[in-house]
Structure 1
Amino acid sequence: MASVTSINPYTGSKITDYKLHTKKEVSDLLEKAKQRFESWKSVPYTKKKKLMQAAAAELTKNKKEYAETMVAEMGKPIQQAMAEIEKCAWVCEYYADTAEKHLANEIIDTDASKSYVAYEPMGVVLAVMPWNYPYWQVFRFAAPALMAGNIGVLKHASNVFGCALNIQKIFERAGFPEHCFTTLLASSDAIAPVLENPIVKAVTLTGSGPAGAAVAEKAGSQIKKSVLELGGNNALIVMEDCDIEATVATCVQARFQNTGQSCIAGKRLLVAASIAEEFIEQLVVAVRELKSGDPAEEDTFIGTLARTDLAEDLEQQVNNSIAAGATLLLGGKRQGAYYEPTLVKDVTPKMAMFAEETFGPALSITTFKNIEEAITLSNTSKFGLGVSLFTEDVEAAEKFVSQFEEGAVFINELVKSDPRLPFGGVKESGYGRELSAHGIREFCNRKTVYIK
């Protein structure tokens, strides 16, 4: 029987082996998910609300237990890991409180005696999820999907199978009926057959562009709904009238939290030429002070990357940019899966660190003369997930919002996901939305009802 070995990226030691589900086991689990849907879809909101609140309570009660699995499997620093678990509890509480309102019949005035839109669950939804936020990426799908009456089936990244099994355990401990949420221990090769199974009605994927394209192609061939949340190359635009001290702090958090392994991280720092020298000087000091080390220690901010090959990829992007004329200000060294916090200035749009997504603790720095040039630089990307703009003149900044080719514009804040706001991108950052009312309706049949 095929298996996957889980390796701790910080110690390099083996955690455990996971036996992959066989084709028959996957088929049986999907059948059980289908059967569960028949009863789950009609469970009243009051009952689902209590269960989702119980899931939030379970996350809060045992957050250290769940966080420690994250630390071991993908190297996330423990304080950031526990914050991720707390955010998962928040999204459970949010949808427990709001799902009924978001999915209430929407009355539309027409020539009918009565006409409205009803939001009904689709059925079994497959979630293909990445390792970088191994709980949050799943819960921001699972909480709304289950509250809407759907069934969740998870195919998680193979290096975080422990987290994947924990998520199933959380729902079971909360009292959800068996097979409301199921984790498949399967390789990437198993995704296509699962999508071909008529039991699966839709798919959501968070991950790389190639993975998203492959899943979307397969879903399209089956005429099945898909939502894609893919890569990002967010710009941090620093205007000359910004609060420098506050902006430096926010930019450091935006780039280096989760050891830089985030699709919505600020990866390209665009700073006004008139303040560039002062801003970069303060930035170097702040980044130099970030503590690297054992992710299990509470004061560690920078851990390892999730795998050595990821650190090697980042190292090559930095080295290629320097070879093309960029200037290394700080860092640039790798040891195994660890890559030290790195700053590189004089980066141009043709260099790897600008044109490609960098997934790790390395920030490129480019200067601009005016807001028009900054917008052009920001939009010079195949991605369109989000952008941050830092300025004291908020009223003027808001006038430029429509010029950014992004799914989100944040002024004086890093780009982040919030259960109350829709989350997603444009261009090669994907399509569809997660979170808020928009997210819970993605996997609903928006049924028109007309009565005369």
Structure 2
Amino acid sequence: MEVTLADPVSSFPVYDPASGNCVGHAPAQGELEARRAIDAAAQAFDAWREIGPAARASALRSFAAGLQNEAEHLSRLISLEQGKPWRESRAEVDQGIAYLHWFAEEARRAYGDLIPDRFAGGRMHICREPVGIVAAVTPWNFPFSMPLRKIAPALAAGCPVLLKPAPETPLSALAIAVIAERTGLGSGLLTVVTGDREASAAIVGAWIVDTRVRKLSFTGSSATGRHLAELASADLKRLSLELGGNAPFLIFEDADLDHALDGLIAAKFRNAGQTCVSPNRVLVQASIYDGFVARLAERIRRLVAGPANDPMSDIGPLISAAAVEKIDRQLSDALARGARLLCGGQARGCFYQPTLVADVTPEMMIAREETFGPVVALQRFADEVEAIRIANDSCFGLAAYAFTRDADRIWRLGETLEAGMVGINQVAISTEEAPFGGIKQSGYGREGSRYGLDDYQNLKLISLGPTTVAHIREMASC
């Protein structure tokens, strides 16, 4: 796949966080381009909604095939602008394509309903219609799969998409748009508008104030999500908000500790801890705490932070120097309050050593705020009651995890942990088949699964009176 860099005069640079080198340029766009994108989407909307679900499904499958043909190039592009190891980038490409295949099928299953009328002879039909033009704003941590997680259900439902990728990682989104055009997706159905950090507010602001845009899907910080919700309330836009997390990870004394260790390492250090469902508060039962800490420290010390093209690298860099500074602040606060640093705690550029800090308490900054980095923060708990109390003591509610063999406890935890997604003896909770989303200040709306189409559709009631039904029957019998 050829990647044509934008003219540096009318563009902004994109940097590899591993080396700090410029790896490309993206168009420096703003409010004018955002408005033009709405115009193009408005022109495309009626034809796209009318072609029917089978044709939309076929278009999504062609789109997926085009992306699959460029999978290796796309994975390298992700690693260049985001920094994660190539094997993680390749998995991200597969995940993004999987959403297109999933929603190509769900497009054909947007069923309605028929409700018996309270009046004899009447009929009430329930049908689903596309909500309209969708604005999608995506973060830098998954620059390929996150856009497709929004694009796929929107297009399947019959909605054109306006996409604003993060300024740190716009190249993957631009590649998606190029391949969409190559595979025959019509003009105006997917428009990517890129801008630097200063222009981002103007781009999204233009979409929010335009009444033709009927839905906003945003993934990012809770503070930004609340601000966008306030702006979108002016014309009551539909919203999907996937915001911050502070996931608890509970390990009970009866757990399979080998399995728990494997799960914790996989979930915590994926993408260098820069995932919204990353375990942020690891709670270990007091009776096994010391032994578990020793085993975990040994595992973490073996992890290697390095560049994406090194097959020995387990984790890549953090996205920026600001991300490094945030972790440093959290660790300094924890150590000042009595926590113990067992390994790591140092940075080299944007590479942060895999880190383990023990004896964390709930009032520490590292336990109250999302870390978004390769740091495991361990807390003790005495029993199940205390574990649940600590786990739920957060304004966030995106994901939670627990490891136990007790069948009764499994169900209690599943029902009492306050999170939109709960993994019991399982950390792979983000798949195209499963509804992804949170509660509390982690937002609302669901992505993926059969429920993911609902956020891009309106339910409409068509109520037919008895005389109308009788007339239809009469005409049908002629």
Alignment TM-score, normalising by the size of structure 1:
0.97
CA contact (8 A) 2:215 2:237 kept: yes
**What CA distance in whole angstroms lies between the structure 2 residues aligned with 1:416 and 1:339?**
26
Report SS of the residue matched to 1:253.
helix
Instruction: State which of 224, 229, 250 in structure 1 corresponds to 2:263.
Output: 250
CA contact (8 A) 2:106 2:453 kept: no
Q: Deviations over 1:268-298 (max 9, x none)?
A: 1101111112211211121112222111223
- Give the structure 1 partner of residue 75 of structure 2: 67
- Give the structure 2 partner of residue 148 of structure 1: 157
Q: CA deviation at 1:327?
A: 0.5
Instruction: State which of 313, 316, 319 in structure 2 corresponds to 1:303.
Output: 316
Q: CA deviation at 1:362?
A: 0.5
1:81 matched to 2:81 = no
1:317 matched to 2:330 = yes
Instruction: State which of 38, 52, 65 in structure 1 corresponds to 2:46.
Output: 38
Q: CA deviation at 1:401?
A: 2.2
Larger mean Cα displacement after TM superposition, 383-392 or 399-408: 399-408
Report SS of the residue matched to 1:450.
strand
Report SS of the residue matched to 1:100.
helix
Instruction: State which of 184, 187, 200 in structure 2 corresponds to 1:188.
Output: 200
**What CA distance in whole angstroms lies between the structure 1 residues aligned with 2:193 and 2:315?**
31
- Give the structure 1 partner of residue 383 of structure 2: 370
**What CA distance in whole angstroms lies between the structure 2 residues aligned with 1:450 and 1:343?**
61
Larger mean Cα displacement after TM superposition, 20-29 or 30-39: 20-29
**What CA distance in whole angstroms lies between the structure 1 residues aligned with 2:223 and 2:458?**
28
Instruction: State which of 64, 82, 95 in structure 1 corresponds to 2:103.
Output: 95
1:331 matched to 2:338 = no
Unaligned runs of 5+ in 1: none
Q: CA deviation at 1:141?
A: 0.9
- Give the structure 2 partner of residue 402 of structure 1: 415
Q: What does 1:20-35 correspond to in 2, within 5 Å?
A: 20-35=28-43
- Shift in alpha-carbon separation, 1:106–1:420, aligned structure 2, 3 A: farther
Q: What does 1:265-280 correspond to in 2, within 5 Å?
A: 265-280=278-293
- Give the structure 1 partner of residue 176 of structure 2: 167
1:389 matched to 2:402 = yes
Identity, in percent, stands at: 33
**What CA distance in whole angstroms lies between the structure 1 residues aligned with 2:28 and 2:20?**
22
Matched pairs, number: 451
CA contact (8 A) 1:394 1:411 kept: no
Report SS of the residue matched to 1:414.
coil
CA RMSD of the aligned region, Å? 1.5
**What CA distance in whole angstroms lies between the structure 2 residues aligned with 1:72 and 1:167?**
16
Q: CA deviation at 1:22?
A: 4.3
Larger mean Cα displacement after TM superposition, 384-393 or 186-195: 186-195
Letter in 2 for 1:259: A
CA contact (8 A) 1:59 1:88 kept: no
**What CA distance in whole angstroms lies between the structure 2 residues aligned with 1:144 and 1:308?**
35
Alignment TM-score, normalising by the size of structure 2:
0.91
Letter in 2 for 1:350: E
Q: CA deviation at 1:96?
A: 1.1
Q: CA deviation at 1:108?
A: 2.8
Unaligned runs of 5+ in 2: 1-8, 466-478
- Shift in alpha-carbon separation, 1:415–1:231, aligned structure 2, 3 A: farther
CA contact (8 A) 1:78 1:295 kept: yes
- Shift in alpha-carbon separation, 1:98–1:19, aligned structure 2, 3 A: closer
CA contact (8 A) 2:136 2:163 kept: yes
User: If you compute each CA radius of gyration, which structure gives the higher value, 1 or 2?
Assistant: 2
Q: CA deviation at 1:26?
A: 2.5
**What CA distance in whole angstroms lies between the structure 1 residues aligned with 2:386 and 2:116?**
47
1:282 matched to 2:305 = no
**What CA distance in whole angstroms lies between the structure 1 residues aligned with 2:435 and 2:315?**
29
Report SS of the residue matched to 1:4.
strand
- Give the structure 2 partner of residue 177 of structure 1: 186
Instruction: State which of 228, 231, 235 in structure 1 corresponds to 2:241.
Output: 228
